Structure formats: C-alpha cells, structure tokens
Amino acid sequence: MPTSDPFTTPEDATSSPVTASPAAALRSSLTVDLAEVAAHPGSPVTADFAANPDLRRLLTADDASVWTIGGLGLIGFGRAANVVVTGDDRFTGARAWWDELTAGLSIVDPLSRSATGPVAFGAFAFARTSTAASGLVLPELVIGHDHDGAWVTLVSTAPELTIADVAEAWNRLVPTVLPAGAPEALAPDADTTSGPGSDPDSRSGSNPHAVEDEAAARTWCASVEEGVQLIRDGQLEKLVLARAVTVEGDGQPLDLTRALRRLAADYDTCWTYCVRIADHEDRHADTLFGATPERLVRVLDGTLHARVLAGTLDRASAPEGIPGSEWARRNLFEDPKQRAEHEFAIGSLLGSVAAYTEEVESSTDPFVLELPNVWHLASDVSADLTPGPDGTVPSALELVEAVHPTAAVCGTPTHEAAEAIARLEGLDRGLYAGPVGWLDSRHNGDFGIALRGGVRRTADTAQVYAGCGVVEASVPAEELAETRAKLRPVLNALGVTPRS
C-alpha cells in the first residue's frame, strides 16, 4: 500500500528510474540441506561446519551480503543479479523486478520454508529524494541457518542444478571458514587473508580515525534546539535528528570484515547487516554495514513481526553503587520524556499497519533492552495479516513501504517531521535509517532499520551515522552525548582510535 514518503509532496514526487543487471539468463535455483552438501564426495563443506553452522564463521569476505543475528540468518556470496531504484517508486520498482525474476526461475526447494529458495538482499534510502542507490541484489550462493537447520541455495544460468554444482560454487565463492569456538575469541583477529573472496590488502595494519567537526556538532545542537522550539510551538510532537562522522584510514583500507565480526560477536542480539546494491568498479564503494537493534518488519507465513525502539540511555551514565537494571528502569521506564518518545514510535507503527490486519498484539508495557553500550525502551509487535481479494497476504516489501518511515527514525507527524529533517540536518541520510534486510520468492522477508552503522564510501573512508529522538524535554548537549554513545560500537568495530 503506498504511503506518503518524506521530503516531497505528491506534486513534486519523481518517478523511479530502474537499472537492472542482466538477469534474463538466470534459469534455475536449487536449495540443498547443508549436511547433504557436506556429505557429497570432495565437498569443500567440512563436517565440522555442517555440525556447527554458526554464520559468524563465514564473515570472511568484505563483499558478502549479510543478515545475521546470534549466528543465525543468511550470508550471500557472488552477484547473480541486482536492481538499482531511486525515487518515490523505489519499493514498487524493486518488488516488480523481483517478482518477474523469480517467476522465470525453475525453483527446486525441497525444504520449502522461510528464506529457502532464491533470496535477495535489499537496502532502501530513507528519503525518496536521496541520490543513494536503493534496490535488491541476488547473490549467486546463499548459506542460511535457522532453528530448524542450515541450507545452501544456488542460482544459475544452467537449466538444472545438482549438489555437485552447489559444492563447486561454494569452493569458488566462499572464503576461509573460521574455526569453531566462541565468536568473541575467534572473531576480531582471525586471519582471513586466504580464500577466494578474501582481500589481503584489507589487513594492512590500518589505524583509522574519526573526523568529528566540532563546529558541525555545535550547529547540530542548535538544530536540536530549533526542533524543541517547533515542538513547543505545536508544529511537531517528536523529531529525529541525525548526524554523520567520517572515518578515514589514511590511505590504508578499512577492515570491514573485522568490523562485521566484531559487531556480530559483541552485539549478538542485534541484526548484523552488510549489502552493496550498485555495481562499481571499486567493489568497496557504497557498502552499507552495521548492527541494528531495531526490526522494522518481518513477514513469516502471513504474520507480521516488528520491534520498536525509542528511548535511549548510555550505560556509561550509570553511577557506581546502583545496579544497572535499576538505573535503566528509573531513567527509561519511569521517565516521562523517554516514555513519551516511545509511545510516539509505537503509535506510528500501529497506524501504518492498521490497513493490513484486523488485530495487532503489542507488549503490554515496553521492556528494557540491554546492549553493551546503551539501554533502550523496546516493544515487540505482531499481527496476522489480512489476505487480499486474491487470497494472498502482502509481501514483506509491501509492508516495508507501508511502515517506513516510523516515528523512531523520522518523527510525528511524519510529513511535518520529514520537512524539518530536510531543513535542519543538512545532510542526505542516504541508506542510513532506511530499510535493510532480505526477501524470498514466497514474499517472506525480514527488514530492519539501518541503524548503528554506516556506509563505506571507498576502500579507506566511511561515514557512520547516529540520531536521537527530540521531544519537548530534550536538552541539546544530552542528545549530542546520546549520538556519541550510539556511534561508539561502529567506531570501535572499525578500529578507530581517538585523534588529539
């Protein structure tokens, strides 16, 4: 269902240019249980990995497509096809491309459950006016792992596929598999300089640093104060303002695989993501990455799931002598400012999905979500989707379009908050705070909000982002401190050291 999108009105909305890589030659897709691939004679899949298919062990290639949480999820290697879309119809254009592509495939999928069969990874710009490339990418090989087991899916131009073809593709595309063991021990410094997808130059001993413009920080604080005034004047109820910090490697490549391993190990209750939509000669360019604590929409066999986060407290702010859980409850759950911010976000989501369901279930009260760097107020939401006239329920990507942007990343009312963001932030958010996740051929999918991350612009530069919710009681200096707390995990994962 189309929704009003931030930053433009229907009068000045633009059409969505679509650029797709040639996919007409793709003819088949085969999904095989991982154990069967491992048992195939000469298979590169070891019995050890088949027995312990923690996907964090595959975070060894900086051009992989990634969606993992606690070792479960999906990782894709190679690029079979992709579509780039921009503008107000970016979701519709991507959905039409995916439907056409999968309709032309001969899909063999004996497992037949969510995320088996062909899977596309996607990322979409926060605003329709953004110049960032939105779209979907279909990897050649996808390894999946859920609570029911692990599998491998291969797409190909061949008319038929066998387990031998899957094994050959694994051997060609998948770099070194990390050894089994505690991810915290193996992840940060494991040697991944060998293997078909590895990049020896990425481990060249770079010492990246963050470039934070103090003048820009003061300007941002002034924007927060102006946002507070808009709320006091009754023009807004809530506003979310973000800012960006540049990370530079001083000519040495940023180690993105190390960053992903750190995020996946340290933030294993968040969704670690990585995807590059557009094709570039520089394969490092415009790679979106991070670890988001916020699920935007999951559609699984006709049921919608979401997690709403709004209300944040830096764990470093907890005084000595007071248990952290007590401090978090007092300053989040019992704080009127934090509760008001959370209620705006819940209301935004519920209003967006109302047309797709007859009843929505939500947490009676929000709960405190503990992360290594911050506490959040969180609520889980679920709903059975109402079938349309043809008997089908809406796809994950259709629901993504319906709920984006939520109050958690934009504000309330949506259109007025979006206009204020465009005027006050002074940056193109690009893919930051937009939907990121995956979509299968049955229209199941899982999308989060691209938070706690950034975009690698070149081999040795990246921009990382953080934002905060502004309400009437907001204090600019405190909001600036909140953005620094949210930036900390990504900067640490990139190996950033302070520069005096």
Q: H-helix or E-strand containing 154? A: strand 149-156
Catalytic residue among 140, 238, 248, 343: 238
Q: Which amino acid is at 260?
A: L
Pairing relationship of beta strands 28-33 and 106-108 according to DSSP bridges: parallel
Bond into 405 cis (ω within 30): yes
Task: Tell me, yes or no, if 238 is annotated catalytic.
Answer: yes
Task: Tell me, yes or no, if 486 is annotated catalytic.
Answer: no
Q: Which amino acid is at 274?
A: C
Q: How far is CA 230 from CA 226, 341, 417, 420, in A?
A: 6, 16, 10, 9
Furthest-apart CA atoms within the chain: distance in Å? 71
Residue of 155, 99, 133 whose CA lies nearest to 457: 133
Residue of 428, 470, 466, 472 whose CA lies nearest to 449: 466
CA atoms within 13 A on the CB side of 244: 19
Catalytic residue among 140, 237, 248, 294: 294
Which residue's entry shows tokens 């990504």?
A: 490
End-to-end CA distance of the chain: give it in Å, rounded. 50
CA atoms within 13 A on the CB side of 296: 32
Helix (H/G/I), strand (E/B), else coil: 493 = helix
Q: Which residues are catalytic?
A: 238, 294
